[in-house]
Chain A
């Protein structure tokens, strides 16, 4: 074998710990990217899976713009001459012990052509039981249920017991779904005569365009996929940004470890150069080494990422169902192109991250035999500051330009890179300050040794500061956002209680009955529907006190209310204004069964309820234009806010529930917390990767400074003294990183709140300063620093100092 390759191979073989750290660093970063990439695919796939299961991947879907479809439409179409095979479907969301599921109800007698196994004979077991459901084995396992026992679910606010009549082979399309007979489901859900949609084969397009009533629409699989992609765009972009930041921290680890592998062989490389090895030969062998390490580490990362994605999927399933109304698959579906793309990206960026290391190796002078000195920095502080300044300027421009989210994220990444370049110098300045304060103490001397190894420690310090800054900045943003949502809900909820019905709808009769209760002073109501482009339209009936619930961002109640009530304009939410670049005076349009309606914008209000945007119109006009007299919920303004209405509820002809203002607020915040669990998980992963960076750098330092440590031992420093020395060093590094993370985290918090959130979701979050994350960070960072020092300290103290003291 080529002796230089042998030199590389044997070195790694003889240093398994460093090899492991290098692999762990790259694998951890790649795992997060892979996991999030797989999650993104799941989110995009989440909408169209139901149709995939029933009528094939490219099926057509017949829908009513109002959302619900009369079953008579199906009967009319199915009985016409030449009718294609149509599949009527009713869908509803239910919960089982907190797990979100979807009832997918089919007509077993109609599903004769379904290509995915949900046709005729396969669905026959459903006919034998009024509450019979079929589900996949994977879903059954996830619910920890037994096929022999009844399945209790919460549906429309009440409990229902279902019988599992068949367990189907696993397929992603039916994951998290309960397949049920259509008529039985209509009965269970109190939605007799209703469908959610009708599926049709792709070849039926021409026939349907001739026979479909004008008020119905036909959507293709691609359109449905686009819709899912639009709905989840903000969430996916946020996940992608987090994963890239995690990967960037992972790259610091790779850089730190590979740089150390180089430094350790600095003397030997100098000797090789002295006896005639050319820089080109060295570059080839070191690049090959980096390629093998990053390539193999990335492979490990793909495997870990796939496992991680399944774990993270549990965290996103609930918020995706609650916020977007989508059911996600129970497991991720990795593909070879995705794996290849992530692997190639990881290897390319991994190699790019060690370009500086390779350059440094090329600069090792022939005959440079010492390995006990810190290698010179590749770039001077002045050059680094200049590069950081340029990056910060370009990053600021990217953030300032009122364009897409991607540009803003690129700007943020540029800023973070600029910060990473400046962090080592700032960190060393902090350590120097400490050393000046306590020059003769153990901590002062230990910190002094750290400062001699600045080049070695720079990547770890930058990684740790960025990771802490990122985690804390995220936490500040989430807490600030949570406080903003809390304020918004508190302000929005003006009624004393909210009435919803667990089955059926609130119609005029029910409304009149509730209005007649003596405890009720006035009632507000809302009826919401999704428009074909993903926006929401809501018809409001608001008494005067309810108008105080709006937090106006443009316009106000006094000027907007008269025109709103007269149908001369609409209110729009902030995301609607931002996505559509609309302001007061502009007009919005939407389709109604009677044609397009165009209304001027009267005012813009704060809304965190929908990131796609809401158009609000007066309820009376809503009912007139959409011929829909139902309400989703009623807000009750009571004579006595503490009044008990339980007895009144019992007199209603439908099963109804009352929720207090406090309960609605608590539920909203609970959904918020579930939505951000994924962010916490990713922030934690970033922190863990940074700890790997710290441990690796400290091990590197320990090995590099072995002779210094041995000298200290020889001079009389005890093992426990040396242990304290090393842990002091790790803790000092962590403390410096934590101090530097304070301004970094505030910058991240401000950028996420003021720039990224508006562009991703359309809403602004008032900048707040929650101090808790900072107060928690410092002790946690110190603890993590001390823990990170344990292994390096143990490793250093158990080494026999005698051989280290001898000449090489």
Chain B
């Protein structure tokens, strides 16, 4: 699979001949220098961008064959996204932010699972608060809960600790580890943080547009 961009007359290859397969419940970390295409890769897998060559399959479906509405529905149902900058909706409460994917998928509100997630991520006392009143660590834990609440088969995490200090990052990753284990979802995490990458069974390095096992 490849992804190229045109800048004037020049074509820049961000990803070139990349080959990656993920098993169910597998946890994979991708590392690499800034600007090497890690986030681009996540966007491609999430169906938010299209590859210039090759194809991406998710649970047997070729994403390239899906029209935009179907791609959006697939993303809503099967993927959970975690961003470096949390990206919570400022005008919704924490609870509303977390349950937003359930509403999008027309799924019932699983009180038990919400409580379980909230306990695991230690956000129970925050549920009625607005995101603007939370610290960075709290925001990221809420973002993790939102990514897991609808039990997606794939979690895509883009530098989930990139905006946090070391201590908070360690605590968030511990909670993230517990939550992800309980969800049995596949995790593809882009990170610079070797400690965070250590949570994953497989660690890959993105270099020159393709993936190699990390040393």
Contacts from A to B (Cβ < 8 Å): 2-3, 6-11, 13-14, 267-268, 271-280, 365-367, 369, 807-808
Contact = CB atoms under 8 A, between A and B. Distances in A.
B101 interface: yes
Contacts of A367: 43, 46, 48, 81
Q: Is the interface of A mostly helix, strand, loop or mixed?
A: helix
A274 B92 contact: no
Q: Which of B68, B75, B86 has the most CB of A within 10 A?
A: B75
B33 interface: no
7 contacts: A9-B91, A13-B91, A276-B73, A276-B76, A277-B104, A365-B48, A807-B85
B46 A274 contact: yes
Contact of B100 (A3, A9, A267, A365): A3
Q: Which of A2, A8, A277, A365 has the most CB of B within 10 A?
A: A277
Nearest to A268: B89
A807 B85 CA distance: 7
B68 A274 contact: no
Nearest to A14: B91
B83 A268 contact: no
Interface string B110-143: 0000000000000000000000000010000000
A275 B91 contact: no
Contacts of B105: 276
A7 B73 contact: no
B72 A369 contact: no
A275 B156 CA distance: 11
B61 to A, nearest CB: 15
B87 A369 contact: yes
Interface of B: 43, 46-48, 68-69, 72-73, 75-77, 81, 83, 85-87, 89-92, 96, 99-101, 103-105, 136, 146, 163
A277 B75 CA distance: 9
A3 B99 CA distance: 9
A369 B83 contact: yes
Contact of B92 (A7, A267, A369): A7
A272 B81 CA distance: 11
Contacts of B75: 274-276, 366
B2 to A, nearest CB: 19
Q: Which of B69, B87, B91 has the most CB of A within 10 A?
A: B91
A9 B75 CA distance: 26
B159 to A, nearest CB: 12
A274 B156 CA distance: 11
Contacts of A11: 90-91
Contact of B89 (A271, A273, A278, A279): A271
Given A10-B92, A274-B46, A267 B87 contact: yes
A151 B104 CA distance: 75
Nearest to B80: A275
A274 B157 CA distance: 13
Nearest to B158: A367
Nearest to B103: A3
B46 to A, nearest CB: 7
A6 B163 CA distance: 28
Contacts of A267: 87
A367 B104 CA distance: 16
Contact of B48 (A9, A10, A274, A280): A274
A278 B48 contact: no
Nearest to B102: A3
Contact of A6 (B48, B81, B91): B91
B96 A808 contact: no
A367 B50 CA distance: 13
Contacts of A275: 75-76, 81, 100-101, 104, 146
A273 B90 CA distance: 15
A366 B87 contact: no
Given A275-B76, A276-B75, A808-B87, 14 more contacts: A10-B91, A268-B89, A272-B89, A273-B72, A274-B75, A275-B81, A275-B100, A276-B73, A276-B101, A277-B76, A278-B72, A280-B69, A367-B43, A808-B85
Nearest to B136: A807
A7 B81 contact: no
B52 to A, nearest CB: 16
Contacts of A13: 91
Contacts of B76: 275-277
Contacts of A274: 46, 48, 75, 81, 87
A275 B87 CA distance: 11
B140 to A, nearest CB: 12
A7 B90 CA distance: 8
Nearest to A370: B85
Contacts of B89: 7, 268, 271-272
B91 A276 contact: no
A109 B72 CA distance: 84
A59 to B, nearest CB: 62
B203 to A, nearest CB: 24
Q: Which of A7, A274, A808 has the most CB of B within 10 A?
A: A274
A9 B96 CA distance: 14
A285 to B, nearest CB: 12
Report, nearest first, the 6 A-B pairs whose CB atoms are least far apart: A276-B76, A10-B91, A366-B48, A271-B87, A11-B91, A367-B48
A120 to B, nearest CB: 69
A366 B69 CA distance: 12
Nearest to A273: B72
Given A276-B75, A278-B69, A366-B48, A3 B83 contact: no
Contacts of A8: 91
A785 to B, nearest CB: 32
Contact of A369 (B46, B73, B85): B85
A3 B69 CA distance: 20
A279 B92 CA distance: 20
Contacts of A807: 85, 136, 163
A654 B185 CA distance: 109
A276 B104 contact: yes
A7 B92 CA distance: 6
Contacts of B46: 274, 366-367
B205 to A, nearest CB: 23
A8 B43 CA distance: 26
A277 to B, nearest CB: 6
Contacts of B101: 275-276
Contacts of B77: 276
A530 B89 CA distance: 71
A268 B131 CA distance: 13
A73 to B, nearest CB: 77
A796 B202 CA distance: 48
Given A6-B91, A367-B43, A808-B85, A276 B96 contact: no
A6 B68 contact: no
B164 to A, nearest CB: 10
A572 B136 CA distance: 84
Contacts of B86: 808
Contacts of A6: 91-92, 96
Nearest to A281: B104
Contacts of B104: 275-277
A366 B136 CA distance: 23
Given A10-B91, A274-B48, A279 B83 contact: no
Contacts of A808: 85-87
A273 B86 CA distance: 15
A366 B72 contact: yes
B47 to A, nearest CB: 8
A365 B47 CA distance: 11
Contacts of B48: 273-274, 365-367
A280 B73 CA distance: 12
A639 B46 CA distance: 100
Q: Which of A14, A276, A279, A365 has the most CB of B within 10 A?
A: A276
Contacts of A280: 69
Nearest to B71: A366
Nearest to A274: B81
Nearest to B42: A367
B68 A279 contact: yes
A2 B96 CA distance: 10
B110 to A, nearest CB: 16
